[in-house]
Amino acid sequence: MGIHIKSILGSLAFSYLFYTKSFGLNTLLLSILVLVFLFICRKQRPLPWGYSLPYLFTAVMVFMDPTAFKICLHFMAFFILIGKYIAPTSSLYLSWFIGVVNMIIASLVKLNNHINQPRSQRKVLSKKRIDYIKGIIIAFLLLILFALLYQKANPIFDGLIQQIDLNFISAPWLLFTLFGYIMFVNILNPYNPKELLALDQQKANELKHPEQLFTIPILEKLKSEQTLGSIVLSSLNLLLILFLVTDIIYLFQADPISNAGYSKSVHQGVYALMFSIVCAIIIILFLFRGHLNFYKGNKRLKKLTYFWIGLNVILVFFTLYKNFQYIDALGFTYKRIGVFVYLLLTLSGLITVYIKVASLRGFIYLIRTNITVVFGLLLLSASIPWDRAITWYNLENIEHPDISYLMNLGDTNSEQLYRYIHTPNRETILHKDTFKEIEKRYAQFLSIQRERTWQEYTAFQIRSPRRK
């Protein structure tokens, strides 16, 4: 099967599944189709299984809970898969970039290369293939002509022809299908950014050991950098120790902390942590950008760097503890979950900075590793239906949950809120208007779910088939 036939079939499936539809089961079906096509073409390019599974996983997650975050992540996984399909050895950040660019310009690049080729080298369609195309076009035209003729002669045949409904064909539908066709052509016949990939391959994770011994002017410069760096890091370490001591006092003081106090201590603490860590990482990257990595007298500076990293890890754990306390008292919110995500990323950043300094890695190592960690963490977080999880936790564990916050989340928690207000003794806690609003919200949610076509089905329709 040629690329164009596969692309036409793919585009028809694409428009059937997605035209005027929202995300749901269609995302999962299209992902399977894309993977099947890529698997069929595995002789030209091997299918990157390691990136196909995350792509399929995000599609399943979109089917389970189609939120904007999961849809964005699904697209990200798709672009990475395409990038890895084109160049399996490229860095993750570049794969994403190649994937995006390929989807936009692959056909144009191919066309441009074709035009710029000398006429003698251009690929020409074989005579057999031209005959096939001619045959299909002529047969199609004749089929229409004769069908119209026979329609007049036989009323049963006329009824059969009348049943063919082509009303779905419109200018927007044609454009949408064309878009699907271009998408599939670009997936199945991608372009190869050789120059970019060669440049990426040249960038090694390890720093190159200098081939010559350091000259006296370089040694002098390194000594002064070492002194400067030691003073800067020593003062940063001292300040951080002082901060941690005050933080311990704050954490273990007997006074109960107010809601505003929680917010201030966690959020402001995290923002300050963010800024200080970014600044200190910039200083470390500046100091360890080149020759200082190989300078024998850098031990003191390295020890100070490790000490600073260790102190920051303690700071991360303190902030984690504060966030736990905050959640224990007031429940989950997206912002508080964001703090966890940020702290995990900071921890990974600190570990990679340590590896960079300890095993003489370059800046590109930090970018490559941390982008992989971010992608992994996003994938992991996609497995949780956040709106429902936040609602469940807050309703089950918090004495007076913030109902108005929960009502501002996505409508997937409507059922949980509805069940919550219909448990005994809720009338005493909640206002009448809140009752009405929750019931109205639930009714709207059910109505939206009922209106969904099979392409838009989500896990809700599977869980509660009678209410679909």
Residues that bind another protein (CB under 8 A): 97, 100-101, 104-105, 108-109, 112, 116, 191, 193, 195-196, 199-200, 203, 268, 271-272, 274-275, 278
CB atoms closer than 10 angstroms to residue 166: 5
| SS3 state of residue 361 | strand
- The residue (of 126 and 202) whose beta carbon lies closer to another protein is 202
CB atoms closer than 10 angstroms to residue 237: 18
- The residue (of 199 and 239) whose beta carbon lies closer to another protein is 199
User: In the bound complex, what is the minimum distance in angstroms from residue 270's beta carbon to another protein?
Assistant: 8
User: In the bound complex, what is the minimum distance in angstroms from residue 186's beta carbon to another protein?
Assistant: 12
- The residue (of 95 and 416) whose beta carbon lies closer to another protein is 95
- The residue (of 110 and 221) whose beta carbon lies closer to another protein is 110
User: In the bound complex, what is the minimum distance in angstroms from residue 388's beta carbon to another protein?
Assistant: 22
CA distance 127 to 184: 26
366: Cβ contacts below 8 Å, ≥ 6 apart: 285, 349, 352, 353, 356
User: In the bound complex, what is the minimum distance in angstroms from residue 239's beta carbon to another protein?
Assistant: 16
- The residue (of 192 and 372) whose beta carbon lies closer to another protein is 192
User: In the bound complex, what is the minimum distance in angstroms from residue 112's beta carbon to another protein?
Assistant: 6
Concatenated DSSP letters of 91-130: -HHHHHHHHHHHHHHHHHHHHHHHHHS-GGGS----HHHH
How remote is the C-alpha of 168 from its chain's centroid?
34
User: In the bound complex, what is the minimum distance in angstroms from residue 200's beta carbon to another protein?
Assistant: 8
Using alpha carbons, list the distances in angstroms from residue 314 to 234, 243, 303, 350: 17, 11, 17, 11
- The residue (of 157 and 271) whose beta carbon lies closer to another protein is 271
Q: What is the CA radius of gyration of the chain?
A: 30
Q: State phi, psi for 257 to the nearest 5 degrees.
A: -90, 135
